[in-house]
Amino acid sequence: MDRVALRGLKARGHHGVFPQEREEGQTFIVDVVLGLDTRPAAADDDLAKTVHYGIVAEEVVALVQGDPVDLVETLAERIAQACLQHEGVQEVEVCVHKPDAPITVPFDDVTVTITRSRA
Protein backbone atom coordinates (compact mmCIF):
# COMPACT_ATOMS: atom_id res chain seq x y z
CA MET A 1 0.00 0.00 0.00
CA ASP A 2 1.27 3.45 -0.89
CA ARG A 3 1.13 6.37 1.52
CA VAL A 4 0.27 10.03 1.16
CA ALA A 5 1.21 12.00 4.27
CA LEU A 6 0.14 15.40 5.55
CA ARG A 7 2.25 16.52 8.47
CA GLY A 8 1.91 19.50 10.77
CA LEU A 9 -1.59 20.69 9.91
CA LYS A 10 -2.29 23.42 12.46
CA ALA A 11 -5.61 24.78 13.64
CA ARG A 12 -7.10 26.34 16.73
CA GLY A 13 -9.74 24.28 18.49
CA HIS A 14 -11.71 24.34 21.72
CA HIS A 15 -11.33 20.70 22.70
CA GLY A 16 -10.71 19.47 26.23
CA VAL A 17 -12.39 18.62 29.48
CA PHE A 18 -11.52 21.82 31.34
CA PRO A 19 -13.60 25.01 31.01
CA GLN A 20 -10.51 27.10 30.19
CA GLU A 21 -9.70 24.83 27.22
CA ARG A 22 -13.23 25.21 25.91
CA GLU A 23 -13.31 28.98 26.39
CA GLU A 24 -9.83 30.01 25.25
CA GLY A 25 -9.01 27.22 22.82
CA GLN A 26 -5.53 26.13 21.82
CA THR A 27 -3.50 25.04 18.84
CA PHE A 28 -3.73 21.43 17.72
CA ILE A 29 -1.36 19.89 15.19
CA VAL A 30 -2.43 16.91 13.09
CA ASP A 31 -0.44 14.41 11.05
CA VAL A 32 -2.35 12.18 8.64
CA VAL A 33 -0.98 9.25 6.66
CA LEU A 34 -3.37 7.90 4.03
CA GLY A 35 -2.94 4.37 2.68
CA LEU A 36 -4.02 3.85 -0.91
CA ASP A 37 -2.89 2.47 -4.25
CA THR A 38 -1.43 5.36 -6.26
CA ARG A 39 -0.56 3.26 -9.34
CA PRO A 40 -3.72 4.12 -11.33
CA ALA A 41 -3.14 7.85 -10.78
CA ALA A 42 0.55 7.58 -11.67
CA ALA A 43 -0.13 5.55 -14.81
CA ASP A 44 -2.59 8.11 -16.16
CA ASP A 45 -1.17 11.20 -14.42
CA ASP A 46 -4.73 11.79 -13.19
CA LEU A 47 -5.62 13.53 -9.92
CA ALA A 48 -9.10 12.00 -10.02
CA LYS A 49 -7.52 8.56 -9.48
CA THR A 50 -5.84 9.44 -6.20
CA VAL A 51 -6.71 11.38 -3.07
CA HIS A 52 -6.72 15.18 -3.30
CA TYR A 53 -4.59 15.97 -0.26
CA GLY A 54 -5.50 19.66 -0.39
CA ILE A 55 -9.12 18.80 0.22
CA VAL A 56 -8.18 16.35 2.98
CA ALA A 57 -6.12 19.09 4.66
CA GLU A 58 -9.06 21.50 4.56
CA GLU A 59 -11.38 18.87 6.04
CA VAL A 60 -8.97 18.08 8.87
CA VAL A 61 -8.59 21.76 9.77
CA ALA A 62 -12.38 22.22 9.67
CA LEU A 63 -12.82 19.33 12.11
CA VAL A 64 -10.25 20.78 14.52
CA GLN A 65 -11.95 24.19 14.31
CA GLY A 66 -15.42 22.66 14.53
CA ASP A 67 -17.61 21.29 17.29
CA PRO A 68 -15.60 20.82 20.48
CA VAL A 69 -15.12 17.42 22.09
CA ASP A 70 -13.74 16.44 25.46
CA LEU A 71 -11.14 13.95 24.27
CA VAL A 72 -8.35 14.13 21.73
CA GLU A 73 -9.22 10.49 21.01
CA THR A 74 -12.66 11.59 19.80
CA LEU A 75 -11.15 14.25 17.56
CA ALA A 76 -8.71 11.72 16.08
CA GLU A 77 -11.57 9.31 15.38
CA ARG A 78 -13.59 12.01 13.60
CA ILE A 79 -10.60 12.87 11.45
CA ALA A 80 -9.95 9.21 10.61
CA GLN A 81 -13.56 8.63 9.58
CA ALA A 82 -13.53 11.72 7.35
CA CYS A 83 -10.36 10.51 5.63
CA LEU A 84 -11.84 7.07 4.99
CA GLN A 85 -14.75 8.72 3.15
CA HIS A 86 -12.39 9.50 0.27
CA GLU A 87 -12.59 6.94 -2.48
CA GLY A 88 -9.46 4.85 -2.69
CA VAL A 89 -8.29 5.52 0.86
CA GLN A 90 -8.10 2.09 2.46
CA GLU A 91 -6.31 2.99 5.67
CA VAL A 92 -5.43 6.06 7.70
CA GLU A 93 -3.14 6.87 10.57
CA VAL A 94 -4.02 10.03 12.48
CA CYS A 95 -1.78 11.63 15.08
CA VAL A 96 -3.24 14.59 16.98
CA HIS A 97 -0.75 16.71 18.91
CA LYS A 98 -1.84 18.82 21.85
CA PRO A 99 1.34 20.76 22.67
CA ASP A 100 -0.39 23.14 25.08
CA ALA A 101 -2.17 20.48 27.13
CA PRO A 102 -2.90 21.52 30.72
CA ILE A 103 -0.16 19.46 32.37
CA THR A 104 1.61 20.73 35.50
CA VAL A 105 5.09 19.38 34.67
CA PRO A 106 7.45 20.32 31.83
CA PHE A 107 6.73 18.42 28.58
CA ASP A 108 7.21 18.76 24.84
CA ASP A 109 4.01 17.32 23.43
CA VAL A 110 1.01 15.09 24.03
CA THR A 111 -0.17 12.95 21.13
CA VAL A 112 -2.89 10.45 20.40
CA THR A 113 -2.27 8.22 17.39
CA ILE A 114 -4.88 5.90 15.88
CA THR A 115 -4.99 3.69 12.80
CA ARG A 116 -8.26 2.86 11.08
CA SER A 117 -9.10 0.96 7.90
CA ARG A 118 -12.09 0.12 5.77
CA ALA A 119 -11.81 -3.57 6.65
* Domain limits, the chain: 2-117
Query: How far, in Å, are 27, 60, 65, 86, 93 from residue 72 at the CA level?
Result: 12, 13, 13, 22, 14
Query: What confidence tens digit (pLDDT) does each residue in 67-96 have?
Result: 999 999 999 999 999 999 999 999 999 999
Query: What confidence tens digit (pLDDT) does each residue in 28-70 have?
Result: 999 999 999 999 999 999 999 999 999 999 999 999 999 999 9
Looking at the domain 2-117, which fold is it? GTP Cyclohydrolase I, domain 2 (3.30.1130)
| Dihedral (Cα; 13, 115, 83, 87), 10-degree rounding | 180
Q: Which residues contact 5 (CB under 8 A, 6 or more apart)?
A: 31, 32, 33, 34
- The whole-angstrom separation of Cα 18 and Cα 23 is 9
The pLDDT of residue 26 is above 80: yes
User: 2-13 and 26-36: which strand pairing?
Assistant: antiparallel
The answer to whether 94 and 83 have CB atoms below 8 angstroms apart is yes
Which sequence positions are flagged as catalytic?
98
